């Protein structure tokens, strides 16, 4: 049986787009395993080891120090261990290790190595920073979107948006006085932003 000729390609495209949006709003349908911390719920397409809860606790400590933290909110993080899931939810993002989307207000990561507190990148290498930092960074974006609304958060300059996310994610390990001196001195080796962060 062929396709109904009365249903045009525009209608089929509209239905497919609608189904895609539904899956973005309800990604848990694609992630069988789940573990919840106090504020972060991790879902994965592979079993989640006990060591994941140490990483989640570290990320929670970071986000709980933010003035935008909502203790009534659950922050979902979806770990895409399979390449097709990452491609599906990220729109074939070949650069990032993690991202946050206002649609469904969730964070997605590439494959996690929980025991090592590392996030695997597009090339298979470990991230420049620990996994808990990547998680806290993306949740900070979610907190800003909760506070300002998706439209307000989207209008922020990237240096504000990314700067605040980095402040939440790394303020317990980042030496601001040293960084300021290196920046003012024109230190060419000084890198203020990890280019893999989005």
pLDDT of residue 2: 56
pLDDT in tens, 33-92: 999 999 999 999 999 999 999 999 999 999 999 999 999 999 999 999 999 999 999 999
Q: How far is CA 52 from CA 135, 160, 197, in A?
A: 12, 30, 21
CATH T-level assignment (fold) for domain 31-184:
Glutaredoxin (3.40.30)
pLDDT of residue 193: 44
Tokens 């986000």, residue? 63
Question: Is the model's pLDDT at 3 over the cut of 60?
Answer: no
- CB-based burial, 27-55: b 16+ in 10 Å, e otherwise: beebbeeebebebbbbbbbeebeeebbeb
Q: Taking the domains of the chain in order of start, what are their residue ranges?
A: 31-184
pLDDT of residue 108: 97
Q: Taking the model in full, what pTM does it have?
A: 0.83
């Amino acid at each position: 049986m062929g396709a109904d000729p009365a249903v045009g390609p525009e209608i089929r495209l509209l239905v497919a787009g609608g189904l895609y949006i539904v899956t973005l709003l309800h990604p848990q349908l694609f992630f069988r395993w789940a573990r919840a911390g106090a504020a972060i719920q991790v879902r994965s397409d592979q079993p989640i080891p006990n060591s994941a809860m140490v990483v989640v606790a570290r990320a929670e400590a970071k986000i709980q120090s933010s003035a935008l933290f909502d203790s009534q909110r659950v922050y979902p993080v979806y770990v895409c261990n399979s390449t097709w899931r990452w491609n599906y939810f990220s729109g074939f993002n070949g650069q990032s290790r993690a991202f946050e989307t206002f649609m469904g207000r969730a964070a997605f990561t590439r494959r996690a190595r929980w025991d090592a507190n590392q996030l695997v990148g597009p090339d298979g290498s470990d991230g420049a920073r620990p996994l808990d930092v990547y998680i806290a960074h993306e949740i900070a974006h979610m907190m800003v979107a909760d506070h300002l609304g998706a439209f307000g958060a989207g209008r922020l300059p990237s240096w504000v948006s990314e700067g605040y996310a980095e402040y939440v994610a790394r303020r317990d390990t980042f030496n601001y006085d040293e960084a300021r001196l290196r920046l003012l001195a024109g230190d060419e080796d000084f890198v203020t932003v990890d280019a893999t962060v989005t």
